């Protein structure tokens, strides 16, 4: 009989990570690569910018999945501890530590791709750039949490800043609002 931890590990390793890679590759190959018509000029750049926006949206979505996962961890740990499966809790914690670098890289990729997308587009709105700035703040604070050199007070402040769900929600709302305003 499969336990909860084994199911999660299969879902993560066998399905979610390959699916994320596949979707990213499909988006890159279908949207980002400009059409063969080079006569389009600026329209070809707009298509490329739109494709980058789609990729950035997917990357942001994959980054935010980790926030949902972190909310599911405490009840899962509690359930495993109460059923005397403490060894599974250790394995779950170990697996979670392996996911953090993926979250970091995907978040950074979302920030960079979204910024390039914004720079390539003709239309813009201040709310979109505020969202990018908040994403940058989240990326910097997340990086400070992972690096070894900052003092404990800096790491503590970075953790408090990075763990604010309100900032992530604000990013999503500002992106939706800004895109509605420029369309």
Distance CA 31, CA 113 (A): 13
Residue 61 lies in a domain: yes
The whole-angstrom separation of Cα 145 and Cα 163 is 11
* Residue after which a domain boundary falls, among 106, 134, 156: 106
Residue 32 pLDDT:
47
71, two tokens:
């909310």
Q: Which tokens hold the place of 166? A: 């309100």
Domain boundaries, position 141: 123-183
The CA dihedral of 169, 170, 172, 175, to the nearest 10 degrees, is 180
Residues 76 and 5 in one domain: yes
Give me the number of domains the chain comprises: 2
Residues 63 and 128 in one domain: no
Paired tokens of 103: 């979250």
- Same domain, yes or no, for 93 and 19? yes
Q: Does residue 38 sit within a domain?
A: no
In a domain, 169, yes or no: yes
Rounded Cα gap, residues 18 and 143, in angstroms: 25
Task: Write the CB contacts of 27 (distance below 8 Å, at least 6 apart in sequence).
Answer: 51, 54, 55, 58
> Residue 61 CA to chain centroid, in angstroms?
5
- Residue 93 shares a structural domain with residue 25: yes
Establish if 115 belongs to a structural domain.
Answer: no
Per-residue pLDDT of the chain (183 residues; tens, 9 = 90+): 455 555 556 555 665 666 566 666 655 555 444 444 445 555 666 678 888 899 999 999 999 999 888 888 888 888 888 888 888 888 888 988 888 888 988 898 899 999 999 998 888 899 999 999 999 999 999 888 887 777 888 888 888 889 888 999 999 999 999 999 997
On whether both 9 and 86 belong to a single domain, the answer is yes
Residues 65 and 140 in one domain: no
Whole-angstrom distance, CA of residue 34 vs CA of residue 31? 7
Examine the domain organization and report whether 14 and 70 are in the same domain.
Answer: yes
Whether residues 66 and 141 fall in one domain:
no
């Amino acid at each position: 009989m499969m336990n909860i931890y084994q199911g999660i590990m299969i879902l993560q390793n066998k399905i979610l990570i390959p699916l994320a890679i596949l979707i990213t590759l499909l988006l890159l190959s279908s949207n980002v690569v400009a059409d063969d018509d080079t006569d389009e000029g600026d329209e070809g750049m707009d298509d490329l910018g739109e494709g980058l926006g789609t990729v950035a949206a997917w990357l942001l979505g994959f980054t935010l999945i980790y926030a949902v996962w972190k909310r599911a961890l405490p009840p899962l740990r509690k359930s495993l501890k109460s059923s005397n499966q403490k060894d599974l809790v250790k394995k779950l914690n170990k697996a979670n530590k392996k996911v953090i670098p993926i979250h970091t890289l995907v978040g950074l990729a979302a920030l960079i791709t979204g910024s390039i997308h914004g720079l390539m587009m003709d239309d813009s709105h201040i709310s979109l750039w505020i969202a990018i700035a908040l994403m940058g703040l989240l990326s910097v604070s997340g990086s400070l949490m992972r690096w070894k050199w900052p003092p404990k007070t800096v790491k503590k402040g970075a953790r408090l800043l990075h763990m604010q769900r309100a900032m992530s929600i604000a990013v999503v709302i500002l992106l939706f609002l800004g895109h509605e305003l420029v369309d």
